[in-house]
Amino acid sequence: MLRHIKTNWPDLLHFQPLETPFPAPERIFPGLEEIDPETFPAFLDEIGLVGMGGSGFPASEKIRASIGAHTLVINGVECEPGITVDQTILLHHPLWVQAGANACAKAIGATQVVLAVKNNPDHISRFRVLYPEYDIAPFPDRYPAGAEKLILKKLTGKMPPPGVRPYQMGYLVQNAVSLRAIGRAIVDGIPVVERPLTLTMPSTGFYKNIIAPLGLPIRDVLEAFNLPFDPEAHLISASGLMMGNEVGLDDCIEKTTLSLIILERSKLEEKERGCIRCGTCNTACPLGLHPYALVERIKKGRTKSPAFKAQMTECFLCGVCSAVCPSHIPLIRTLEEGKQCL
Amino acid sequence: MPIASPFLRMGARSSGMVAWAMAALMVPATFYSILYHSLFIFQMIGYALLGMVAEGIYVLIVRRKLQLNSIASGLTVALIAASVPPSMPFLPMLSSILLAIWMMKLPMAGIPLRFNAAMAGRLFLMLVYSSHVVAWGTPTADVISTATPQELYRSEGFALELPQLLFGRVGGIWEELFLLVPGSPGETFPLIILLLGAVLCWKGIVAWRTPIAFLISFGITTALCGNSPMFNLFSAATIFSAVFIVSDPVSTPMSKSGKIACGIIIGVSNALLRHFTYYTEAIVYAVLLGNLFTPLLDRIAFAAQGWRLQRRR
């Protein structure tokens, strides 16, 4: 029952521009000449790389654990709806992404590189030109498609067992923006000091992908683009519409800020009504779980059964159940509490 | 409630769902009203308002607050009104409304085991005022007991043809006897109701799994019993119940597999009841049986999903 999302975005299927109104960072150390599996994770620590797809997991740990994996997956599937930063980076900065991907593949000894992108024929034909030596795996344009679990499900044909990390199955999934940062450090000698992100204000039709320096207050970003922001009427959602959180004007751009989306408060206020037991949350759950049954059990404190534990472990709090609920019940808040019952 | 993610909302909203279903129910009622019994639509609206007042009184007494937006009760009562003859006297109708709203619908709110209140009200009428329930009027003389297509088929082996059933108008030699296909106002235009059901599914207001499982399993079981599936699907209240009764979200399971299982239970039991018992349209019993299984089916689906996840580990 997942419908198309009704927001007045510009047409996301077209190529989105990439703008950098901020001064470019300076080269502070020589690039990397030789990729050595021994020293490569330490190099990643040195440039300060974390998972730029939103997880914030230290990239060096992931590389260390994945040595011996046979496939590197470049994750260019946007996790959140309305964000195009991954595919824009893949389109505009292919050299850096390729440098990063080749370095990662060499460091872990991967023989195959797969480029996972959204299923858009125009973009895919362009990617075939830009990345001739990589395999391209198209993914449907729906949320959630960019989670590691669902990417592996598509690539291996079956759902990875609960609790198994991708490297245990011989895959390393790296976000396109992370790989761009690695490439930037190797080629130009610039550590992770900037963050590509989607800045959009649907009510005015403003939509741009920008590269902003880390640590810049959001106030300055908005001023650079002259956005009519009013704290009373608007709300800034960082890192996406589904799993993101509200940020203030004085918060800074962080390494995990995927996007800044300015929404109107009046459109978001919804009153919670009683459950009509329609089962829309069950139908929409991408993992086939039973969200309302889980919520009922959490509220009653019946959290000891193995069936409950198995389902609660599997849930990755994507928020689809809350988004489709016709009664606007905040299921995801209760499920977050339930994660602590495990 | 602070604003928190997810900031996106998709799909239908529960506030408008009942209004949509009500509007859909009004379409066949209006046709019936125009063609056969001109007062019926006003009668139905009046009963629906009565149901809303009944809910208002209940809420005022039990929860000590005044609440008037109780359109769900209105829908329940409208469904009762559409499933009995328009000639039903006021007193039985009132007692059935009060039973459905005060005993079946409101006190059971919020618990997993729910019965379809409209079906409960109709069951009461069938058991207590059975002579009124079968008094299907004909337009020539207002209240004469006539046989519905099912009863005709049962007693005289005469099956109305499909076009007659679909458009609710009898032609040929039987036209002298009754102009319309006898039956309750809701069930007379199966084709229109089927289209309305498709519209409701497309709008995301009813879930498609239960009704489709119901119709398919009903058709197959009827064929296995040696009856004509098409005749049985389009006569009596089968399509009407599939669109308005079986698809009721409150009293059917939440899980996907549970929805299909519940639809199959209702469909198979309805077909078997029609074939083996005295009742010509046993949908009331079949739906209440399916409702009885609902909490069990949900629990089985939950445990099965947990077991599947554990086995994969």
Q: H-helix or E-strand containing B143?
A: none
Residues A298, A261 within the same domain: no
Residue in A with minimal Cα distance to B13? A326
Q: H-helix or E-strand containing B83?
A: none
- pTM summary value: 0.83
Mode of pairing for the β-strands spanning A112-118 and A206-213: unpaired
Which one of B1, B252, B305 has the shortest CB-CB distance to A289? Answer: B305
Residue A158 to residues A113, A264, A317, B201, B223, Cα–Cα distance (Å): 20, 40, 21, 31, 39
Highest mean pLDDT among A117-121, A128-132, A199-203: A128-132
B114 chain-A contacts, CB cut-off 8 A: 277
Quote the CA–CA distance of B276 and B298 in Å, as a whole number: 29
Which one of A277, A307, A308 has the shortest CB-CB distance to B254? Answer: A277
Is the Cβ pair A323, B4 closer than 8 Å? no
Is the Cβ pair A283, B17 closer than 8 Å? no
Q: Is B212 on the interface with A (CB under 8 A)?
A: no
At B127, list the tokens: 């058991």
Mode of pairing for the β-strands spanning A135-139 and A259-264: unpaired
Distance from CA of B262 to the nearest CA of A (A): 13
pLDDT of residue B213: 94
A263 chain-B contacts, CB cut-off 8 A: 7
Mode of pairing for the β-strands spanning A259-264 and A234-238: antiparallel
Distance from CA of B236 to the nearest CA of A (A): 27
Residues A329, A300 within the same domain: yes
What mean pLDDT value characterizes chain A? 83
Contact, A150 vs A110, CB < 8 A? no
Q: How many CB atoms lie within 10 A of CB A216?
A: 15
Q: Which of A254-258, B94-98, B99-103, B229-233 has the lowest mean pLDDT?
A: B229-233
Which one of A81, A237, A279 has the shortest CB-CB distance to B249? Answer: A279
Contact, A169 vs A152, CB < 8 A? yes
C-alpha triplet A9, A203, A19: angle, nearest 5°: 60
Is the Cβ pair B14, A6 closer than 8 Å? no
Mode of pairing for the β-strands spanning A245-247 and A234-238: antiparallel
Map out the domains of chain B as residue ranges.
Answer: 17-136, 189-313
Q: How confident is the model at residue A2 (pLDDT cuts 50, 70, 90)?
A: very low
Residue in B with minimal Cα distance to A322? B6
B207 chain-A contacts, CB cut-off 8 A: 278-280, 283
A235 chain-B contacts, CB cut-off 8 A: 3, 7
pLDDT at B147 over 70: no
For A278-289, give the DSSP string.
--HHHHH-TT--
pLDDT of residue B163: 64
Residues A242, A289 within the same domain: no
Among the candidates A268, A297, A327, a domain finishes at A268
Quote the CA–CA distance of A140 and B311 in Å, as a whole number: 28
Is the Cβ pair A290, B301 closer than 8 Å? yes
A253: containing domain = 194-268
Is the Cβ pair A242, B5 closer than 8 Å? yes
pLDDT at B292 over 90: yes
Residue A150 in any domain: the answer is no
Is the Cβ pair B306, A305 closer than 8 Å? yes
Q: How many CB atoms lie within 10 A of CB A212?
A: 23
Q: How many CB atoms lie within 10 A of CB A70?
A: 13
At B192, list the tokens: 């229109």
Quote the CA–CA distance of A57 and A50 in Å, as a whole number: 5
Residue A204 in any domain: the answer is yes
Is the Cβ pair B5, A244 closer than 8 Å? yes
- Which amino acid type is present at position A66? S
At A94, list the tokens: 């292919």
Burial class (CB in 10 A: 0-12, 13-18, 19+), A105: buried
Q: Which of B39-53, B100-114, B296-310 has the lowest mean pLDDT?
A: B100-114
Q: What is the pLDDT of residues A277-306, one digit of tens each?
A: 888 899 888 888 999 999 999 999 888 888
Quote the CA–CA distance of A77 and A146 in Å, as a whole number: 5
pLDDT at B149 over 70: no
Quote the CA–CA distance of B271 and B223 in Å, as a whole number: 9
A333 chain-B contacts, CB cut-off 8 A: 4
Q: How many CB atoms lie within 10 A of CB A263?
A: 22
Max distance between CA atoms of chain A, in angstroms, equals 62
If you count residue pairs, one on A and one on B, with CB atoms under 8 Å apart, how many are there? 146
For A21-43, give the DSSP string.
-SPPPPP-S----S--TTTHHHH
Among B10, B257, B300, pick the best mutation site for testing chain A contact (most A Cβ within 10 A).
B10
At A47, list the tokens: 């440039």
Residue A136 in any domain: the answer is no
We report the CATH number of the domain holding residue A255 as 3.10.20.30
Residues A202, A259 within the same domain: yes
Distance from CA of B248 to the nearest CA of A (A): 8
B73 chain-A contacts, CB cut-off 8 A: none
pLDDT at A45 over 80: yes
pLDDT of residue B216: 94
Among the candidates A268, A291, A307, a domain finishes at A268
Residues A258, A285 within the same domain: no
Q: How many CB atoms lie within 10 A of CB B98?
A: 17
Which one of B6, B252, B307 has the shortest CB-CB distance to A323? Answer: B6
pLDDT at B143 over 50: no
Quote the CA–CA distance of A49 and A69 in Å, as a whole number: 20
Contact, B210 vs B203, CB < 8 A? no
C-alpha triplet A76, A82, A87: angle, nearest 5°: 25
Which one of B7, B8, B249 has the shortest CB-CB distance to A276? Answer: B249
Residues of B numbered 62-101 whose beta carbons fall under 8 angstroms of chain A's beta carbons: which are they? none
Contact, B14 vs A278, CB < 8 A? yes
> What is the number of structural domains in chain A?
2
Residues A295, A335 within the same domain: yes
At A227, list the tokens: 């956005």
Which one of B12, B114, B252 has the shortest CB-CB distance to A326? Answer: B12
Is the Cβ pair A244, B254 closer than 8 Å? no
At A258, list the tokens: 């995927």
Q: Is B256 on the interface with A (CB under 8 A)?
A: yes
Distance from CA of B39 to the nearest CA of A (A): 33
Quote the CA–CA distance of A223 and A238 in Å, as a whole number: 17
Mean pLDDT calculated for residue range B60-87: 82
Q: How confident is the model at residue B158 (pLDDT cuts 50, 70, 90)?
A: low
For A97-149, give the DSSP string.
HHHHHHHHHHHHT-SEEEEEEE--HHHHHHHHHH-TTSEEEEE-SSSS--SHH
Q: What is the pLDDT of residues B187-220, one digit of tens each?
A: 777 888 889 999 998 888 888 899 999 999 999 9
